[in-house]
Chains A and B, each alone.
Chain A
Amino acid sequence: MTTLSTSLPTSDIDPFSKEYLFNPYPFHQKLRGLGPVCYLNKLGVYVVTQYQYVKEVLNQPLVFCSGAGVGISNFKKEAPWRVPSMLLETDPPDHTRNRAIISKVLSPMVLRGLKAQFEIEAHRLLDELLEKRSFDVVKDLSEAYPLKVFGDAIGITPFEREKAILYGNMVFNTIGPKNDYFAEAMSHAEEVIPWINGVCQRANLSKTGLGIQVYEAADSGILTEAETTTLVRSFLSAGIDTTAHAISNAIFSFISFPEQWEKLKENPQLIKPAFEEILRFESPFQTFFRTTTVETQLGNFTLPENEKVMLSLGSANRDPLQWENPNEFNILRNTQGQLGFGNGIHGCVGQMLARTEVDALLTVMLKKVKSMRFTGEPKRLLHNTLRGFETMSVEFN
């Protein structure tokens, strides 16, 4: 049982409740108002919601570690459901070595080369969708596009590739507690886990993709073959669902605020900052955890050792102490420092790839799509840590 300093604020808010997941922003505001750190009574964890302190925690990776898991489950207390990620759930020095392997594969030169392929698929897909006119953004665009371009770039088989979405769903939902969302995600485990392990094997990766290059680490003896397979798995854990939700959130925001779409059409050089604003305004990845490795101070409060600390990127990205009119979607804003890709040594290693994918898609959309509208009420996805949609019926012209 932890001993709390008497002045550390507490709250009964449940950040994994249906109400919070549907619309977290009023809850974020309450939690930010309580102070730099707060204890959540229902979950028995600490939570950090202010921008300054979220960033501070992210930049102290040895004090606030990832090796004990980045979900609410503490790997020092209970076994993880899968072999821990060698990137996400690992600390320096192993993390440093593993990340260097991946960042070498995702070099700027490689990404520049991929952009052309991404635009070709964006053209093809948008032509198809404009022919249909009415479709579901989530299935037909947000998921279809990364499954194709990212899957091809990594070099995984097209066979049953949509299982990658189910796998990503498991990875991100299990960051939360064992609630209904967790259970639903894990109900697909039997069909998905063998698939993911299979597609990441050396023999099953395309000779010209990015995944096979990671096996160089095995060949040079830095990692074992099994470790390399786990490292390749990180691409598929992190690289599809998040991008898909970013695309859905982009389209939702542009249809909801059409004057921003008009601004973008008039100023296509704003594509990059517009995507940063999407990530700030509706962060696809809202919540994850760190674990304290020592007793430590955060904003004058003492946190005990071996405690879970929840970080709300979604809240930090709307903190009025950091952003002017934070609840306004404004592609002209200065988004420097937005935390949608995290920060520090664990900041998303695939972020340039994600930016390249969405850049290509928005570039082609600006050329081809004159207008967009909802043809029904978008159905919000309720997910422990991701923010996006289950379905979004639209008409594109």
Chain B
Amino acid sequence: MPKLHFIHPNGQTTSLDAPIGKSVMNICRDYGFSEVIAECGGAALCATCHVYVDENQSDMFTKPNEIENQLLEFVASEKKATSRLSCQLLITENCDNLRIYFPIQQI
């Protein structure tokens, strides 16, 4: 299974094995990371599952579609080029050593 590294706002890192096919959002929920809220449960409607993908690893995922791009305009923390909605990031074999940075707030 690919290894994922989640970097919390306080600088600490949590590393874990991620099942293929799961979304980064659901992995965060499974591990109880409070930094991701996901009010809409993954329906790409609420913009509260915002994360930053390591700038060298954006190729691990397909580019955001129009709806994700729309919603990224509404994230509560700074929107960066590396911003993604974690409910749209599905883990594949190519995701080994993926680094995900949590924003400071979701609402």
Contact = CB atoms under 8 A, between A and B. Distances in A.
B43 interface: yes
Contact of B40 (A96, A107, A352): A352
Nearest to A335: B41
Contacts of A298: none
A333 interface: no
Interface stretch (A98-106, A120-128, A315-323): A98-106
Interface residues of B, number: 17
A349 B74 contact: no
Contact of A104 (B39, B40, B70): B70
Interface size class of A (residues with CB under 8 A): 20 to 34
The A contact surface, by secondary structure, is: helix
Contact of B41 (A100, A103, A106, A337): A337
A343 B39 CA distance: 14
A103 B45 contact: yes
A109 B43 CA distance: 17
A373 interface: no
B36 interface: no
A352 B45 contact: yes
Given A100-B66, A103-B67, A109-B74, A336 B41 contact: yes
A351 B67 contact: no
B24 interface: no
B10 to A, nearest CB: 23
B44 to A, nearest CB: 8
Given A100-B67, A103-B70, A108 B41 contact: no
A187 B95 CA distance: 57
A213 to B, nearest CB: 13
Contacts of B71: 103, 107-108
Contacts of B67: 99-100, 103
A106 B70 CA distance: 11
**Most interface-central of B39, B43, B67, B70 (chain A CB within 10 A):** B43
Interface of B: 26, 29, 39-41, 43-48, 66-67, 70-71, 73-74
Interface of A: 96, 99-100, 103-104, 106-109, 272, 276, 336-338, 341, 343, 347-349, 351-352, 355
27 contacts: A100-B66, A100-B70, A103-B44, A103-B67, A103-B70, A103-B71, A106-B45, A107-B70, A107-B74, A108-B47, A108-B48, A108-B71, A109-B74, A272-B39, A276-B41, A336-B26, A336-B41, A338-B41, A341-B43, A347-B43, A348-B43, A349-B45, A351-B40, A351-B43, A351-B45, A352-B39, A352-B45
